[in-house]
Amino acid sequence: MALEIIELCTNCWACEPLCPSKAIYEAKPHFMIDPDKCNECSGDFEDSQCASICPIEGAILNADGEPMNPPGSLTNIPLQKLAA
Amino acid sequence: MQLPVLNSAANEAPKSGCSAGSCGSTDDQMNHLPEHIRQKVFNHPCYSEEAHHYFARMHVAVAPACNIQCNYCNRKYDCANESRPGVVSELHHPVQAVKKVLAVAATIPQMTVLGIAGPGDPLANPERTFETFRMLSEQAPDIKLCVSTNGLSLPEQVEELSKYNIDHVTITINCVDPDVGAQIYPWIFWKNKRIKGREAAEILIAQQQKGLEMLVAKGILVKVNSVMIPGVNDKHLEEVSKIVKAKGAFLHNVMPLISEAEHGTFYGLTGQRGPTNEELQALQDACEGDMNMMRHCRQCRADAVGLLGEDRGSEFTMDKVEQMEINYPEAMKMRAEVHAAINEELESKRLAKESKVQLVSIQGVQKKEVTRPVLMAVATKGGGVINEHFGHAGEFLIYEASSDGVRFIGHRKTTPYCEGDISCGDGESVLDKTLKVLAGCEAVLCSKVGYEPWGPLEAAGIQPNGEHAMEPIEDAVLKVYEEMRIAGKLEAKLDEQQKVA
């Protein structure tokens, strides 16, 4: 059970200091989550901290590989406009 | 390490002769400020149209994280060719940032101000922001520090902020009504949760107002930035202006929304337009009754370097900075000399202006004729004189002449006529664009105007004028206004306007 940061990450540093398990680390080309350390914040916070501050839709995936913040969920930009 | 004592004269503002308020010419916001504030900001390029021709500023991009989302911002954006807030090309760690600041300050001695403005929210990156400030306070005490913030985490940072050489904080306040805020901010990150909608706006507004009050109580200068979004907060900003003034903000900067679709922001993609020049000016005028308005903001990048409107960032990329050997204590002596010379020049200009103002006010007693205000555009490279060709001007300064005197209204950007005479998209010629940009102006004053644009300018009701090259801007504007008065042009239009109204 771990979250994953993918290539959409813009390296903004917002998530790194929030992680209660210190699972997030700076890497090239983008930040990474150590799957052995990440527990999705269970026991520490109600919501996963990285996914709660990440500004980029789709940059963080859950254990099933689905985006924690799907397209349009953070910016409210209608999907057909995002695709264009 | 013992640092050399700076020439104290270099740090002292030229005395203001008209701190009591209006002095005929109202081109400079600083003239309206109380003396103790004016002393703090006289050499800050962002606070005065005049100072920005002499002093430079730079931003370092050490603060990438943000704790809110604004509908005019796209966090994916990173571009070398664009000039607007929130955009940077390379991010720095504090140690690198300090190196860069010292290199720039030693190379451009006019650089007096270092700001941290993003590309995220500086106070959402407290370690990186404060480490940068801490090192600069120690290593470069002759540089003023400033910071801008959305205000969400401001109250908890005020104590830390007050420890450094920071006397200016800018808070972006777009609203004081959560219903308006819900249309500007989709979410905030607050107490370990992402909060959306009206509730998010309510918390953000409360934090901004609390932060503003706390800063004022600490004696730290606060400027308020607002983004004007037509149909969302344009009417509301007058109230914002009243409230922030009442709480002690010293300057309000209303900026136009930038919302090109290609920027990929919510507003850009949903077709939210920015204000026209006329709408922006009308709002700034409406707010001015309540407080000092800033008119010359160029909405620069979060990593801009140099004088306002110019960006020398590419000379100071990190690989270039690493090659530079900087002896800052030595540089500081040179900087003090440069600052003293600039202050001397500003002081002599101010004295000249003051004696002229007295003369005008004596003459003014005799003729009390009230004439209608006229907008004029001016092409200048700086220094307060008309010294730019029409065809080379990338921006025009807009002045209003009236029977009360001359005042600076703002600046309008265009594409220089001589740079691309074919077209700039949609078949619109460069000249057409400039004509549109100058809408509302009745004259354009430049050092020279070519034959070709002359006709179209006249046809658009904008009289080209190249007769005042190298003259001080306000003198020339007044002269042209006087010529218009004698020619009877200042009453005729009033009738027309009244008929329309």
Along the 84 residues of chain A, how does pLDDT read in single tens digits? 899 999 999 999 999 999 999 999 999 999 999 999 999 999 999 999 999 999 999 999 999 999 999 999 999 999 888 876
The torsion angle over the Cα atoms of residues B463, B469, B471 and B476, rounded to 10 degrees, is -10
Question: Measuring CA to CA, which residue among A49, A1, A45, A46 is closest to residue A24?
Answer: A49
Who wins on pLDDT, B117 or B51? B117
Contacts of range B423-427, beta carbons closer than 8 Å, 24 or more positions apart:
none
Q: What is the set of domains in chain A, with CATH numbers?
A: 1-84 (3.30.70.20)
The predicted pLDDT at position B421 comes to 47
Give pLDDT, residue B65.
93
Distance from B143 to chain A by nearest Cα, in Å? 27
- The CA-based dihedral angle spanning residues B85, B123, B230, B377, taken in that order and rounded to the nearest 10 degrees: -40
Token match 């309008």: residue?
Answer: B412
**The total number of residues written for chain A in this structure:** 84
Percent of chain B, pLDDT > 90? Answer: 49
Q: Do B76 and A56 touch (CB under 8 A)?
A: yes
Instruction: Specify the CATH class of B8-329 in words.
Output: alpha beta
Per-residue pLDDT, B366: 53
- At B330-379, the pLDDT tens digits run 999 999 999 999 888 888 877 877 776 666 555 555 555 788 999 999 99
Residues 165-204 of chain B with CB under 8 A from chain A are 186-187, 189, 192-194
How would DSSP label each residue in B84-131? STT--S----HHHHHHHHHHHHHH-TTEEEEEE--BS-GGGSHHHHHH
Cα distances from B457 to residues B392, B409, B426, B442, B464, in angstroms, run 16, 21, 21, 9, 7
- Closest CB to B69 among A17, A18, A55: A55
How many CA atoms within 13 Å lie on the side-chain side of A62? Answer: 10
User: Packing angle between helix B237-246 and helix B277-288, nearest 10 degrees?
Assistant: 30
B194 vs A49: CB contact, 8 Å cut-off? no
Q: pLDDT band at residue B6, thresholds of 50, 70 and 90? A: very low
DSSP β-bridge partners for residue A19? none
Q: Please say if the pLDDT value at position B158 is more than 80.
A: yes
pLDDT of residue B52: 73
Question: Does A14 contact B67 at a Cβ distance shorter than 8 Å?
Answer: yes
- pLDDT score for B88: 64
Q: Of B322, B315, B299, nearest to B87 (Cα)?
A: B299
Nearest chain B residue (CA) to A72: B266
pTM: 0.80
Q: Are B189 and A53 within 8 A, CB to CB?
A: yes
pLDDT of residue A13: 93
Closest CA to B438 of B478, B465, B419: B465
Chain B residues close to A45, C-beta within 8 Å: 192
Answer whether residue B16 shows pLDDT above 60: no
pLDDT of residue B411: 83
DSSP at B73: -
Three-state DSSP at B223 gives strand
Specify the pLDDT at position B53: 76
Mutate to test the interface with A, among B76, B88, B90, B93 (most CBs of A within 10 A): B76
Rounded to whole angstroms, the Cα distance separating B298 from B144 reads 20
Poorest-confidence range of B30-39, B75-84, B139-148, B238-247? B75-84
Residue of A nearest to B78 (CA): A10
What are the residue boundaries of the structural domains of chain B, listed by start?
A: 8-329, 370-500
Cα–Cα distance between B386 and B434 in angstroms, integer?
A: 18
Distances (CA, A) of B97 to B228, B416, B492: 32, 34, 58
Task: Confirm or reject contact between B266 and chain A (CB < 8 A).
Answer: yes
* Closest chain B CA to residue A78: B270
> What pLDDT, on a 0 to 100 scale, did the predictor assign at position B3?
43
Residue with more model confidence, B496 or B206: B206
- Give the closest of B64, B127, B187 to A74, CB-based: B187
**In chain B, residues 111-170 whose CB comes closer than 8 Å to chain A:** 120, 124-125, 127-128
Which of B67, B192, B270 lies at the smallest CB-CB distance from A81?
B270
pLDDT for residue B25 = 34
pLDDT for residue B364: 53
Q: Which of A68-82, B87-101, B287-301, B393-407 has the lowest mean pLDDT?
A: B287-301
Query: Taking CA atoms, what residue in A is nearest to B128?
Result: A13
Residue B172 has pLDDT above 70, yes or no: yes
For domain B370-500, give the CATH number. 3.30.420.130
Alpha-carbon separation of residue B38 from B167, B213, B403 (angstroms): 12, 21, 27
User: CB-based burial of residue B314 (10 Å sphere; 0-12 exposed, 13-18 middle, 19+ buried)?
Assistant: exposed
Show the tokens assigned to B359. 């003369």
Per-residue pLDDT, B262: 86
pLDDT at B170 > cutoff 90: yes
Dist CA A64 CA A74 (whole Å):
20
What is the rounded CA–CA span in Å between residue B360 and residue B352?
12
Using CA coordinates, name the residue in chain A closest to B271.
A81
CA atoms within 13 A on the CB side of B267: 24
Residues of chain B with Cβ-Cβ distance to A81 below 8 Å are: 269-270
Count of CB atoms within 10 A of residue B114's CB? 25
Q: Identify the bridge partners of residue B149 per DSSP, sorted by sequence position.
A: B171
Closest of B4, B3, B13, B2 to residue B339, by C-alpha: B13
Q: What is the average pLDDT across B19-36? A: 48
Q: Which residues of chain A have a CB within 8 Å of the CB of B120?
A: 12, 14
Cβ contact, residue pair A47, B67, below 8 Å: no
The neighbour count for residue B441, using CB atoms within 10 Å, is 26
Provide the sign of the torsion angle of the four alpha carbons A16, A22, A27, A29, taken in this order.
negative
3-state secondary structure B352-411: HHHHHHHHHHHHHHHCCCCCCCEEEEECCCCCCECCCEHHHCCEEEEEEEECCEEEEEEE
Cα–Cα distance list, B260 to B161, B299, B434, B460 (Å): 35, 15, 19, 27
Res. B476: pLDDT tops 50? yes
pLDDT at A41: 97
Q: Is B66 on the interface with A (CB under 8 A)?
A: yes
pLDDT at B8 over 50: no
Confidence of residue B301 (pLDDT cuts 50, 70, 90): low
Give the torsion through C-alpha atoms of B257, B275, B235, B400, to 10 deg: 120
Q: How far is B270 from chain A (nearest CA, A)?
A: 7
Q: Search chain B and give the residue with CA nearest A84.
A: B269
Which of A10, A11, A12, A47 to mutate: most B Cβ within 10 Å?
A12
| pLDDT above 50 for B7 | no
Predicted pLDDT of residue B85: 58
The answer on pLDDT for B75 being more than 90 is: no
Percent of chain B with pLDDT over 70: 81
pLDDT reading at B501 higher than 80: no
- A14/B120 Cβ within 8 A: yes
> What is the DSSP annotation of A60-82?
EE-TTS-BSS-TTTTT---HHHH
CB contact under 8 A, A47 and B192: yes
Give pLDDT tens digits for B236-253.
999 999 999 999 998 899
What integer is the mean pLDDT of B433-456?
91
Phi, psi of B498 (to 5 degrees): -65, -40
